Amino acid sequence: MRRHVRWGIVGVGALMTISYGVASMPKHSRVNASVPSGAGGLATWPWAPRGITWRSSGFNLVPYSVRVTHDPSLPKGQRMLIRPGESGTIYRVGSIKTLVSPPVNAHVLVGTATVHTLSIGGHVYRYDKVLSMLTTAYNGSTSMNGPWGAVAAWDGKPLHPGDVAVDPSVIPFGTYLYIDGYGPARAVDSGSAIIGDHVDLFFKESSAKISAWGLQWHKVYILAQKPGNYAG
């Protein structure tokens, strides 16, 4: 055991001697020196950048993959992003890698329907497009409609179940829809909080039941014609 201790001390001394010798050699003698040198020709500290024991470190991104699911309810060729992907992160020290955060794979639906029809409860709906939209709910209360009451922004008529509020730049007023979890509908209303891929569903329910709806993502089918079971 003592032999190894003495050898370790000698080894450190030899390293220091090599470093000093390389630094003090004449110029022509240091051409083939194997110890990296720093500024002014002095030997680099072993653990500093370019030192003989230095190891590079840093963060690297881990790419995510895309999961593709074929959906017979989407028109053929249409793609719908269900979940966006996020890159992961690893921390690298030399050849050692530590996972900091794993990647989150994206999920995309690809339509396979050649005939754009949807059959639900004995009713057939013809549609041109399907959107994935955030849905909320509202009723006829003043707090949800303002002092002008529960009337449609499009034509001023009283609201009834099946009427929904949309962003007209996304879904034009008058468009007939079928919304999963809600049924046949028509875009007749709007609101300052209804922006982008967001649709607000009208119910004749209490405010407590309306609040229970919360935020839900649903498929919204853009229909090619008025559905036979639409009450409006």
DSSP string, 149-173: -SB-TTT-PBP-TTEEE--TTTS-T
Percent of the chain with pLDDT over 90: 41
pLDDT over threshold 50, residue 211: yes
Report the DSSP pairing between strands 106-113 and 66-75.
Answer: parallel
Does residue 180 sit within a domain? yes
Q: Is the dihedral of CA 179, 184, 187, 191 positive or negative?
A: negative
Higher pLDDT, 166 or 34: 166
Does residue 176 sit within a domain? yes
Percent of the chain with pLDDT over 70: 76
In a shared domain, residues 208 and 121: yes
Higher pLDDT, 44 or 193: 193
Beta bridge partners of 79: 110
Does residue 103 sit within a domain? yes
pLDDT (average), residues 186-196: 93
Q: Residue 224's pLDDT is what?
A: 85
Q: Residue 67's pLDDT is what?
A: 94
In a shared domain, residues 124 and 175: yes
Q: Residue 25's pLDDT is what?
A: 42
Say which residue the tokens 């007209």 belong to: 168
Return the CATH number at 141. Answer: 2.40.40.10
pLDDT over threshold 80, residue 189: yes
Higher pLDDT, 85 or 228: 85
pLDDT over threshold 90, residue 20: no
DSSP structure class, residue 50: T
pLDDT in tens, 87-124: 999 998 877 888 999 999 999 999 888 778 888 988 99
Based on the structure, what is the number of domains in the chain? 3
**Interacting residues of 41 by C-beta distance below 8 A, sequence separation 6+:** 23, 30
In a shared domain, residues 121 and 219: yes
How far, in Å, CA of 54 to CA of 67, rounded? 40
In a shared domain, residues 13 and 61: no
Amino acid identity for residue 103 in this structure: P
Which stretch of DSSP H or E encloses residue 24?
Answer: helix 2-24
Question: Which two structure tokens, joined as six digits, stand for 196?
Answer: 């982008």
Q: Of the candidates 109, 127, 148, which is a domain's last residue?
A: 109
Higher pLDDT, 151 or 73: 151
How far, in Å, CA of 196 to CA of 216, rounded? 15
pLDDT (average), residues 47-68: 78
Question: Burial of 45 by CB count in 10 Å (0-12 exposed, 13-18 middle, 19+ buried)?
Answer: middle
Tell me the residue range of the domain where 13 lies: 2-41
In a shared domain, residues 92 and 131: no
